[in-house]
Every structure is written in structure tokens, then in C-alpha cells.
Structure 1
Amino acid sequence: MEHHDTIVALATPSGAGAIAVIRLSGAEAITIASSIFISISKKKLSKQKTHTVHLGHIKDGHKIIDEVLATVFKNPNSYTGEDVVEISCHGSAFIQQEIIQLCLRKGCRMATAGEFTLRAFLNGKMDLSQAEAVADLISSDSAASHQLAIQQMRGGFSSEIKVLREELLNFASLIELELDFAEEDVEFADREAFQKLISKITLVLKRLIDSFATGNVLKNGIPVAIVGEPNVGKSTLLNALLNEERAIVSDIAGTTRDTIEDEITIGGIGFRFIDTAGIRETVDVVEGMGIKRTFEKMEAAQVVIYLFDASLIENSDEKLQKLKNEIEKIRNRFPQKQLVIIANKADQLSEETILNYKNKISDLTFLSAKTGQGVEALQSALLNFVNTGALRNNDTIVTNTRHYDSLLKALEEIIKVQEGIDAGLSGDLLAIDIRQALYHFGEITGEISNDELLGNIFANFCIGK
């Protein structure tokens, strides 16, 4: 993979705006920018110091395209590690394209997706896990996902992996050295210290692997399915949570025939609420398909909110028993799910009725989706389901599926090493599994990579990053 030419791309979102930034990177970036930029002070851009900003005009021959600011970053002190020029122009889509086309005619090439960050990785400005965190930071849409991306971009996760890899690499070198002196039966690697290292690595890997469950939901949002019988107020609750009329509400049972999804942030954590079709026996084919999808969404959700109309059940022991049976069915079908049981229309209940409910159904939450009473308490309850302790303590949390997969493979090899030590295997056999573990560590930080892997990772970036 060769990246020696000079690239150009729009670094800000496409479309009209107040200001747009066009970025050039490569050996000829400053030279090309100098050929189209005329400074107000008549200074040559190529003669200016790094990290300086200059006012001037972009000119195509005698035609002035725009008045701009040109910022110079000289290698290696730039984002990509190459010479970089950023041109801040007015946000007209026409102006943006005129400047980019001019740069292309002067010798630039249009950057591919993520190529600026790819060059930063290739030039040693960041490792691969930090580069991936750049994309996560750009796409972060909650305080939690933002904090996770910042932690990873600052190198906390990769530093932890690098330390483990270096320690294991040192022992691997000593074991490999023993192979050169096999006939003399000498040991360069202290087996007791090696055992302690393997135990340490095992503990760290298990902690990082376990953190993925938390990291994945914090990064992507926590799916919450709102379920219950038809016409109990599920859509009204969704609208109350979102504070907008997102779902159609009517007195007709079966109004919601498909799932409706939307996201909100509560306490810095993203939640993805799913309003589902009412669960009941039906001969309506379309409604039946919606009910089937309801159970699919319950399967995929981390939290299930079961909603019932408390005003219809309060004076009926038969209905109350049926409700308890339905709740028990859900608990049995989804034993791993966090389940919130909500008595809706609490504004229509007397204190005596509420007390009666509490005595007969444990862990019951009362609210009125219509008036908003109890919605804040529900939001607080949802936050309690999220393990944010590691986030508050700045512990390393794994959010990337590729990293998770490499950690699992590394742990598998470390377990093989441990089994080999317990079985008294020779150094040459231990070395095979150690090399594999080192390989998977290297995959995470990019010390071991290939063009296909890099292509897959950076293809998900925006063009100007």
C-alpha cells in the first residue's frame, strides 16, 4: 500500500455552511497550496513556519475564487505526520468544489475514505486502536460514547495491551534463546516469573473481555422494548419518554402494527426505545406479524418494559391473576433480561388501590404516560441498570468488536501456554502458542496488519478524516 502522493478532501460536512475546511496532505501539499494562495501580506506560504495561519486569496490564474485562511502544518508535527495545509473558505458548495478541482489540477489526488487517519497510523502518529477511536469519536452521540472514544484515542487501551505484549515478548525471546542452547540444557527464562506473568495476562484479558458487554451498550445505546397488551398506553409512554408525538396514539386496539424505534439520552447514556405491537390472540395476519416481531425485539433488547393498564384490573382478581401469569411467562422466557413492570394510568388510582397492587406484585412501578407522572422515576430506574462504575473510574472498556475478537483469541493462546506449563512442555512447544498470542496482541494495535484489514477499517471513515 503506497501513500506518498498528495491528497485533498473536504474536511467539513458537504453542503453549504458558514465555513468549510479543505485539507491537503503529502510531500507537495505546501507547494501546491502556495501555487494557488496569494497572501494579503505577500508572504510565500512555503516560507512560513509550521502551525501558522495566513489570510489571503485562492486564485485560479487571474480569477479570485475566495478570500480564505490557510493554516500550515509541517511534518512531522501534523495530524498525518506529513506536510498539511488546511484552507478555511466560505461555505458555498460552489466555492468548495472550485478549490478542490483547482488542487486536483495542480497535482493532488482525491483522498479515499479515512486516508488522512490511515496516513497518521502509517506514519506512527497513532496506533490502529487509536485510529479506530477517531471514527468512534466522530460518530459519538452521547456523553458515554464520547468518553469511551476519548479514552481509547488517548491510548489507554493500547498502552495496556502494549505493556502486556512487551512483557510477553521479553519472555518469548528468552525461551527462543533457550532453543539455541538446547543441547546444553540451560534455562534463560525464569519459570516462576513466567508463571506469574501468564497469570497476570490471563486476569487482564478476562477483565477486558468482560468489559465488552458494558462497552458495547454504552457505545451503541441500550435497547429497551416496551411491551404489553393492546391499548395499554405503550405508544403514549414512548411519546412521553421522547417528549414528542413520535407514535400514533388512538383508542383502537392494534393501532401499532409494527415496531417504532427512537433514541434519547438519559444521564449521558443513549437508550433506544422500541414501541411494539400489542400482545394478544389475533386472526389479523398483519397484526400477527407485528406481534411476532414484538417477541423478536424483546429477544434483542437489554431491558424489557412490560406495561399494563392498572385502571382496568384493580377490581378483578381474575384479571390480576392473568396479569401475574403473563409477567411470569415473560420472566421465564427471557430470564436474562432486566424487566420493569409498569402500572400505567396511575393518575386514575386511589392510594388504597396502589397499596393493594404493591402487596400482590413485587417491583411494581407506577406512572401515568398521559400526564408524565412517574416518567422521571422510570428514567432513573433505567439508568440503574447500566454499569457505569468502570466509566466513572476511567477503567479501560472495550467497545470494538475487532478488538474483542482478538482478545478472545489471545486468551485462548495464553490458556494453551498455561496448560503447557502445567504439563511440563518444552520451550519449543510453549513458544508456538506464545507467538500466536503475540500475533493477536499485535492485531489490536496494528503492529501486525495487512492491506485488507486496513482497507476494511478505514473504509468506514468519512472522506475528509
Structure 2
Amino acid sequence: MRIEDTIIALATPSGAGAIAVMRLSGKQALEIAAKHFRSIHGKDLQAQKTHTIHLGHIVDGERIIDEVLVSVFKNPNSYTGEDVVEISCHGSPYIQQEIIQLFLRAGCRMADAGEFTLRAFLNGKMDLSQAEAVADLIASDNAAAHQIAMQQMRGGFSNELARLREELMNFASLIELELDFAEEDVEFANRDEFRNLLERIRNVLKKLIDSFATGNVIKTGIPVAIVGEPNVGKSTLLNALLQEERAIVSDIAGTTRDTIEDEMVIGGIGFRFIDTAGIRETKDVVESIGIQRTFEKIDKAQVVIYLFDCETVKKSLHGDTGPNGRTLNTIMTEIGKIKNKYPQKHLVIIANKIDVLSEEELAKVSAQIPEALHLSARSGEGVDKLQDKLLEFINTGALRNNETIITNTRHYDALLKALEEIDKVREGLDAELPGDLLAIDIRQALYHFGEITGEISSDDLLGNIFANFCIGK
């Protein structure tokens, strides 16, 4: 890690804009910036107080490149813990590059992805889980993901783990102290208190591990597959949910030959809707491939919306059981097949095109398929009820109560390993194992706690984590 270098990067998106911000960090950040900054009041930039802003020009010799605002943040009271200078210039790509190239010639180097946040971690400004939350915060595209990232970045998750780790470490120290007095056969660590601590740790770990199911879908979006026979209104429903003409709609059966995906936010939660090819027997090779992909998408979806068409049901209610008429019994059989094949998935049954049914006909549908939601995808009637139903599948209570929710796969894996070691310690206590054997499992549990917060880390691990950051952060 080249942490002695002074680094520079554009902190705002590349391209033209009203302003652009570039950030310098390192021991020479103030010195290099001062060489090429000419204050309109003749100030020496290096002599200015921290957290101050100064108006002037960036110059290359006698050539003025731009009029800028320069913000000064002196160590250790900066984002990285080093001297930091931020230059706000006009957003011309030409000006941005001229300033960056000027500072590169003056002794800076371009920052690597996530290097500013990496330095913040290395200088003790945040722990590793908080640093990872910075990337999650930048990537958050809905209210729930933003809330979770903010809570983690403020240390809610790591503070909880740090307290438990400290208590566990205290007991580990007492147990290891006993090893020095093995011949006297003394106990410094109260075994009953230790059992209570292990139970508390286990409960916290289990709760955090269980929260990952909610956290992961909030972070990545809940995949929802819209399925049913051809021409029942799947594409129309997708368009109604997205409020735009995303999918092609026609009266010709089998119009959708492939899956169409799009995302939207409902109640602060991201959903990924997948409009699939209609499921039916067909000799069309292209359509058959689309149907095969439908089943692949159902496998990956968390929620399945099954549509049936009230227009064809209406015909069967009046005795038309020909190729265009489908009975309620046939539909119930299809629903049963989906439930049997995908018992772990949330299933929403929708009776579409309800506007074609009379009240008496609708009552017959409700009597036979009571769990079906009634809507008209074409008019939008009932779509709001579908949105409410989708939100019921998400544990929004944990979000409302501001509970800690895990979204990071690395954290989830470390928590599972820590829980496994805690269970080994409990089993060892019950079996009255000697302290030296207990200490081994305790140290392993502490190791996995430390992996999360970064108290135990490797250059490879840090490289993998920060490589996913954007340049300039």
C-alpha cells in the first residue's frame, strides 16, 4: 500500500456540469495545493485554519486555469485523517483535466478506487464495516437501503459487536490466566456468568444472521416473476406497475418471447419485476426457449405473481369450455402445481380484467379462489392493492424499529463462523473441558468478530473490498 503518497482524484461524476470537485489527501496535500493556488486576498494556504474555505485562482506559473474555492481540512480532523484539500472548480471537462494534470506534475498520483476511504480506515477514522457502508450508501437507490447504510456507517452494527467482543475477550483473559495457575486448580472466570454471556452473544448473532434475508433483498431488490398463460395481461400489468410502456402489448398470444425486467421502488423498497413468456404447449422454437427462461426466472424469484384472465373465465361460467374458455377448476389446478413446485416462494394470485365480469360472476370467482386479488391492469384499478400485498412480504418492522440489519455477504459469513465457534465453547463448558481447549474456540470466535470490524484483516481482503468503490471516495 502506497500510503505515503499524496493522492488526487475527481470526487464528482466525470463530464460537464456546473461545478466539479477534486480531492487531495496526504502529507504534501497542503504544500502542493499552496504552490498553485493564488488567493484573491493574498493568503498563504498552509497558514490557514482547518475547515476553512478560500476564494482564488489555480495557476500554472502565470497562466490562470480557473477561479476556484479551496477547502482546507488539516489532520487529524479530516475524512482520511490526513491533510485534505478539496478544490471546487467550474465543471468543464477541460478545466478538470488541466487541474488534475497540473497536480500530477507537482508530485501527486491518481488515487486508486476507494483509496480515500481506505486511508480513513487505516488512520482509525472508521472501522471496516463502516467503510463498507460508505460504498453501500453511494449505491443506495431506495429509502430502505439508504437507512440501513446510514445506520451501519454511524457504527450501530460495529458498536454492538465491539461491546460483545470486549466482554468475550475479558473472559478469555481470565480463562487463559487460569492456565498459569493450573497446579493450584483455581477458577478466575465464573462459569455461570460465562454461560449467560455466551447465550447473550448467541442471541445477538442469531438475530443479525436472520436479518440478512431481509437485508440482502433490500440491498439488491426483490425479484418478482409475473407468470401465467399467454394473453392474460402480464405485460400490461408490468406497464401499469412501472407507469410506462415498457413491454409490448398485443392481442396475439405469445407476443412476449423473452423475459423483460425493470425496477421500481414501492414504499421505499426496491422491486425487480420480470415479465415472462406465457406458459403453454407450443411448437414454436423461439417461444419454447422463452417459456424455458420463464421457469428459470421463477426459480430465482422470491415472489411469483400468477395471473389468470377473467375474460376466458367468463366464457367457462356460461358453458364455453372450448379452446378459449378456461374453467376455475383448471386455474386452481395450475395454482396448485406452482405451490407444489415452489413451496418456499411467496405467491400472489391475480384475477385480471375484472371489468368484464358482473358482480354475480365476480362472486363466483371469489368463492372458488378467495385468495385472488381483483384488478384491471389496463385501467390500473386494484394495482395499489397489489403493491400493498408485495410490501407485506418484507420485514419492514425491523426497519421501522431502526434495528440492525445485515446486508453484506462478508459480514454474514463471518457471523456464521463466529456463531459456530460460540456453540463449540458452550458445548465445551457443558462437557467441562479444560481451559486451554476452551481458549482455542474463544480465540477463533474473537477472530471472526475482528474480521468484520477490521481489527483482523489482510492486504488481500482490503484490496478486494476497496476495489469495489468509486474513484474519488
Same fold (TM over 0.5): yes
Paired residue total: 465
Residue 333 of structure 2 aligns with which residue?
A: 325
RMSD over aligned Cα atoms: 0.8
**AA aligned opposite 1:34:** A
Match of 1:120 in 2: 120
Please state how far the C-alpha of 1:250 moved relative to its aligned partner. 1.1
Aligned partners of 2:315 and 2:22: how far apart in 1? 69
- For residues 208-227 of structure 1, the aligned pairs below 5 Å read 208-227=208-227
The alpha-carbon deviation at position 274 of structure 1 amounts to 0.5
406 and 305 in structure 1: CA distance in 2 versus 1, 3 angstrom threshold: same
> What letter corresponds to residue 5 of structure 2 in structure 1?
D
1:67 equivalent in structure 2: 67
Deviations 1:94-121 (A, max 9, x none): 1001000001000001000000000000
Once the two structures are superposed, residues 67-90 of structure 1 have per-residue CA deviations (whole angstroms, 9 ceiling, x without a partner) of: 000000000000000000000000
**Cα offset, 1:47, TM superposition:** 0.7
Measure the CA separation in 2 of the matches of 1:295 and 1:249. Answer: 21
* Aligned-partner SS, 2:314: coil
Give the match for residue 381 of structure 1.
389
Q: Deviations over 1:30-81 (max 9, x none)?
A: 0000011100111011110000000000001111110000000000000000
Note the 1:62-211 alignment, pairs <5 A.
Answer: 62-211=62-211
The 8 Å contact of residues 314 and 320 in structure 1, kept in 2 or not, is answered as no
Cα distance between partner residues in 1 of 2:445 and 2:462: 20
SS at match of 1:314: helix
Q: In the alignment, what sits opposite 1:404?
A: 412
1:24 paired to 2:24 = yes
For the residues of structure 2 that align with 1:6 and 1:366, how far apart are their CA atoms?
Answer: 63
SS at match of 1:224: strand
Q: Which runs of 5+ in 2 are unaligned?
A: 322-326
Aligned residue number for residue 352 of structure 1: 360
How far the C-alpha of 1:300 sits from its partner, in A, is 1.1
Equivalent residue of 1:443, what SS?
helix
Following superposition, the deviation at residue 314 of structure 1 comes to: 2.4
State the alpha-carbon separation in 1 of the partners of residues 293 and 410 from structure 2: 29
Kept in 2: contact 1:410–1:440 (CA 8 A): yes
Aligned equivalents of 2:431 and 2:283: distance in 1?
A: 64
TM-score of the superposed pair, with normalisation by structure 2: 0.97
Looking at structure 2, the residues matched to 245 and 229 of structure 1 have their Cα atoms a distance apart, in angstroms, of 21
Q: Given residue 139 of structure 2, which amino acid in structure 1 is its aligned partner?
A: S
User: 2:288, 2:436 → 1: CA distance?
Assistant: 62
1:362 aligned to 2:373?
A: no
Query: Which amino acid in structure 2 is aligned with residue 352 of structure 1?
Result: E
3-state SS of 2:384 partner: helix
Q: In structure 2, how many angstroms separate the alpha carbons of the residues matched to 1:456 and 1:284?
A: 46
**1:362 shift after superposition:** 2.2
Q: Unpaired segments of 5 or more residues in structure 1?
A: none
Partner residue in 2 for 1:464: 472
Deviation readout 1:103-148 (Å, 9 max, x if unpaired): 1000001000000000000000000000000000000000000000
Task: Name the TM-score, length of structure 1 as normaliser.
Answer: 0.99
Give the Cα separation in 1 of the matches to 2:220 and 2:412: 15
Q: Identify which range, 310-319 or 100-109, moves more after superposition.
A: 310-319
Q: Is the 8 A contact 1:8 1:22 kept in 2?
A: yes
Displacement of 1:315 = 3.9
Give yes or no for the alignment of 1:371 onto 2:369.
no
Question: How many angstroms apart in 2 are the aligned matches of 1:349 and 1:32?
Answer: 76
Q: Which runs of 4+ in 1 moved over 6 A?
A: none
Distance in 1, Cα, partners of 2:2 & 2:416: 32
Q: Does 1:334 align with 2:342?
A: yes
Hey, what's the Cα distance between the residues in 2 that align with 1:266 and 1:395?
21
> Alpha-carbon deviation of 1:373?
0.8
